[in-house]
Amino acid sequence: MVIRRGLRSVFITLALYLVSGAAVAYFMFHAQHGARGLEARGAVQESLRDMEAELKGLVAERKSWEQRLALVRDEAIDRDLLEENARLMLGRTHKNDVVIMGR
């Protein structure tokens, strides 16, 4: 009777350790490989770096457009830029212009 009681307590303790170990292993596995795990975090950080680089390029392009628009404001119209835009929109060239055909 004493042996049964001692054997039962060992099995219960062993079962509790196995269940808690399995639960910890389950959560550790999903913390590493899950949809919001450490590997997914690395992929999100990489895409964030790509988006930040794209944002820098777009900010530079916006500044360029703002500078060009400042030249065409009512107070100070740059005649060269106005002529360039008019020729581009009309598809015309001056007889002294050199046209380089792109791809």
Q: What is the pLDDT of residues 54-84, one digit of tens each?
A: 999 999 999 999 988 887 776 767 777 778 8
For residue 19, what pLDDT is reported?
A: 96
pTM of the model: 0.47
Q: What is the pLDDT of residues 30-45, one digit of tens each?
A: 888 888 888 888 889 9
**Three-state SS letters, the chain:** CHHHHHHHHHHHHHHHHHHHHHHHHHHHHHHHHCCCCHHHHHHHHHHHHHHHHHHHHHHHHHHHHHHHHHHCCCCCCCHHHHHHHHHHHHCCCCCCCCCCCCC
Total structural domains within the chain: 1
Residue span of the structural domain in which 75 resides? 24-90
